[in-house]
Amino acid sequence: MRLAVTIENEPLDDLVTRVYDFGGKPSATQLRSARKAVTDANPYLRKLSTVPAGTVLTVPELDDAQPSAQTQEAAPLLGGIVLEQLRGALALASDQLESDLGGEIAAARTSIKLIGSSDVKQLRRDDPALVEALPHLSKAASARVEDAQALQRYQKAVLAQVERDLAALTGG
């Protein structure tokens, strides 16, 4: 199986003549047959104007044409696509985790500031239970900050290791 990619604003007939070598100008029958084969294999091409440039498509085998040099064997191309998708997913997950951990640190620091605020000190004078609870709350908020920072360091180490593993797996 061979694959190709779409080009922006390329009509279906142009795509077909780009991905197939007909050994000259294709006949109307050859062109019709190739269009049907390509759209049957890639139904989304029936609305080609909605397909983004760079979309991968399958180039089915034809009896009266060969795949052109504009196509590639599937295995190496798919491996590259999978690798790039994996790297993209890792980057998104990393960004989300970094954002979540940053939010956790900010919220815990806000709690620490609130516990030390003059408003809470005023409340503490009026409530003996609060006098006993505040040191525990402060300690818990500080532990949240430390735990989130430890997770940030661990996340960076894990992602660095994943990158090294991917590089080793792909030979560079």
90-110 mean pLDDT: 95
109-137 mean pLDDT: 91
**5, β-bridge pairs:** 56
Give which of 106, 24, 107, 122 is closest to 66, Cα–Cα: 24
89 shares a domain with 157: yes
Provide the 8-state DSSP code for 49: G
CA gap 96, 103 in Å, rounded: 10
DSSP string, 110-138: HHHHHHTSHHHHHHHHH-HHHHHHHHHHH
Query: Which pLDDT tens digit goes with each residue over 56-94?
Result: 899 999 999 999 998 888 776 667 777 888 888 899 999
CA gap 140, 24 in Å, rounded: 76
Sign of the CA dihedral running 57, 61, 63, 65: positive
What is the average pLDDT score of the chain? 91
Give which of 87, 98, 112, 103 is closest to 153, Cα–Cα: 98
Look at the chain and report how many structural domains it folds into. Answer: 2
56 shares a domain with 90: no
5-26 mean pLDDT: 93
Least confident of 32-41, 87-96, 142-151, 163-172: 163-172
In this prediction, residue 99 has a pLDDT band, given cuts at 50, 70 and 90, of very high
Containing structural domain, residue 65: 2-70
Give yes or no for residue 151 having a pLDDT over 70.
yes
25-33 mean pLDDT: 94
99 shares a domain with 23: no
